[in-house]
Amino acid sequence: MNEGGTPENLKPFKKGQSGNPNGRPKGSRNRSTIAREWLEVTQYITNPITGEKEKLEQQDIMTLGIIKKARDGDVNAYKALMDSAYGQPLQQIQQEVSKIDEIEIVIREADDF
């Protein structure tokens, strides 16, 4: 038995009974839903790249801001932009192979392990 556990609190819940009866209120939204809604809010701003007044979503405004910072030489902004657009690069491993004169192949039975 677990330390501090008693037989009463180690039994499974009764059928139809929740372990957290008050739980999360119905209709409550999670943080990612709220964030997505705010990212879709539109606003009239001057596009930092074209200089024209445009109606853009917050996510577009942020992306344009990162592009502007990258164009101004911010390496971290450039990396964030490239990772966002194309994904992070796979790890590269440099390997050198020298000439192999002979390869030994050993086949073992499963019982040998």
Q: pLDDT by residue (tens digit) across 84-101?
A: 999 887 767 677 767 666
Residue 57 belongs to a domain: yes
DSSP calls for 33-89 = HHHHHHHT-EEEEE-TTT--EEEEEHHHHHHHHHHHHHHTT-HHHHHHHHHHHH-PP
Q: Is residue 13 in some structural domain?
A: no
Q: How confident is the model over 29-36, as a mean pLDDT?
A: 92
Asked whether residue 72 is assigned to any structural domain, the reply reads: yes
pLDDT tier, 2 (very low <50, low <70, confident <90, very high otherwise): low
pLDDT at 1: 45
Residue 9 has pLDDT above 90, yes or no: no
For residue 52, is it within any domain?
yes
- Pick the range with the lowest mean pLDDT from 35-39, 48-52, 60-64: 48-52
76 in any annotated domain: yes
- 54 belongs to a structural domain: yes
The domain total for the chain is 1
**Quick one: average pLDDT of 76-88?**
92
**4 within domain boundaries:** no
Structural domain containing residue 41: 30-85
Among 18-27, 47-56, 61-70, 81-90, name the one with the lowest average pLDDT: 18-27
Q: Is residue 38 part of a domain?
A: yes
State whether residue 46 is helix, strand or coil: strand
3-state helix, strand, coil in the chain (%, to 5): 35, 10, 60
User: For residues 27 and 31, what is the distance between their CA atoms, to the nearest angstrom?
Assistant: 13
The pLDDT confidence band at residue 106, using thresholds 50, 70 and 90, is confident
